[in-house]
Chain A
Amino acid sequence: MKIEQQTTVVIGIEHLIGRVEQFRKGGYRLVQVNCTKIGEEFEINYSFEKDYRFENIRIIISPDSEVPSISGMYWGAFVYENEMHDLFGVAVKGMNIDFNGNFIKTSIPYPFRNLQFQGEGPCQGK
């Protein structure tokens, strides 16, 4: 049995700001933003909630795309956007606080961008 219904709508990057604005005007709170690398593309999910109604929008971008910041509408989004930049190397344009790659300090730049493990885990390659 599903605990809650979750919807995810895939939209074009050009519609991102307009759609987020609708959530903002509709009184939704921003729950999280996350990035996943699928093949050569990045899948970015924006999650919102109102009265325990959980809704997501998704954009799919190429690695060299620039994503507009939503921190103008949701001020707290800077933590997710800086993290997305520091771990995946996704360029985010117009962040209200831009740490220029120093929000999450990693030993190598953009460590989640090209994840590769070679024979380190017990299940690797099986």
Chain B
Amino acid sequence: MVRFDNVGLRYGMGPEILQDLSFTIEPGTFQFLTGPSGAGKTTLMRLLLLSLRPTRGVITLFGRDSSLLDKDALTAMRRRIGVVFQDFRLLDHLTTYENVALPLRVQNQREESYRSEVHELLRWVGLGDRMHALPQVLSGGEKQRAAIARALIVRPELLLADEPTGNVDPTMARRLIRLFVELQRSGTSVVVATHDLGLMEQFEDARRLVLGGGRLHIYD
């Protein structure tokens, strides 16, 4: 599903912050991406999301060389990827419901076709009574759950989550990770970037991608 071959990245003329990354992510797998602050976790997530181009190496996504994708192909690719940002990136002028429904709306789906599905997912993440609230009045945890619901609503083939449990209590964190594991069992590949060692220990079967000094160490 995802293949990195000798991928390196530098910003401008600066040092290479990611070096010689070579790994694959197979369909239906679950992996934690971890490492100290500033190790490049978010940068690697952005490479996976194709919002950054590597300065060297080849990234193959869903069987296609990312450097050869035109804009339409990139759009089609992103519709197969769900993403949870560390800073949530909810649109402030849209309600929780509208934010979660956004990935379906941009695909020109009719609201009648997805309304019940969005309601159900919002109830599941505990935002059933906050559907019509704007992000400004949501707590950090509620925003995070809304961002997760937005990533899940399209049933993505690849889910990228950057610190998805950073603002929720441990119970909700476990619940969300279990949801990700359920998704993985239904065929979705999941990459969760986190600092939370305690959380990772609770899911010992998960693969670990550890970034340090610009290089990636994999623990299957």
Mutual binders A and B:
no
What is the interface of chain B, defined by CB distance below 8 A to chain A?
Answer: none
